[in-house]
Amino acid sequence: MTTIILIITGTLTALIGGLFYAYSCSVILGLGKLSDVEYLKAMQSINREILNPVFFLSFMGTAAMLPIATFVFRAHHPVFILLLLASIVYLIGVFGVTIVGNVPLNDQLDQFDIGNATVEAIRKMRDVFENRWNFLNHIRAVCSTMSIILVICACIWSKVE
């Protein structure tokens, strides 16, 4: 059962980490080439569409499975420490950054009426949104990668014990 918990935890952590990594090394770059109106419309669409069961399963599932795995391995000191660190990094650097940083930006953008905005207002909205959102996503990509590495180390260490 403990192996299954590690496999599920590792898979979910890798899936969500891959999402943020893909954004950082490709999606953000492609969207950055769009005009202000195209960029804002694309981000509004993406931010609405990502709110789906598959995303929530991996995002919330990781937030749940990391602490569960940590608890299950509480008697296995090195594995416990690795999973505890993975949990802390994920819950602060991915989950927390998303809730406190990216979601408010997404909500602000969602409320912005592109069709009735001036060219200046559109440019200003992009300036307010894009750099901060991208920076926060890079934090999520790095932190989720760190969590993946820690979970992999925990998986390896659990087999050594």
Range of the domain at 131: 2-160
pLDDT band at 65 (very low <50, low <70, confident <90, very high): very high
Does the pLDDT of residue 81 top 70, yes or no? yes
Token readout for 43 is 């981000």
Count up the domains in the chain and report the number.
Answer: 1
Confidence of residue 89 (pLDDT cuts 50, 70, 90): very high
**What pLDDT is stored for residue 160 in this prediction?**
65
Mean model confidence pLDDT for the chain = 96
pTM exceeds 0.85, yes or no: yes
Query: CB neighbours of 19 closer than 8 A, spacing ≥ 6?
Result: 55, 58
**What pLDDT score does 26 carry?**
96
Give the H or E element holding residue 40.
helix 36-49
Amino acid letter for position 45: S
- The C-alpha atoms of residue 117 and residue 148 are separated, in whole angstroms, by 42
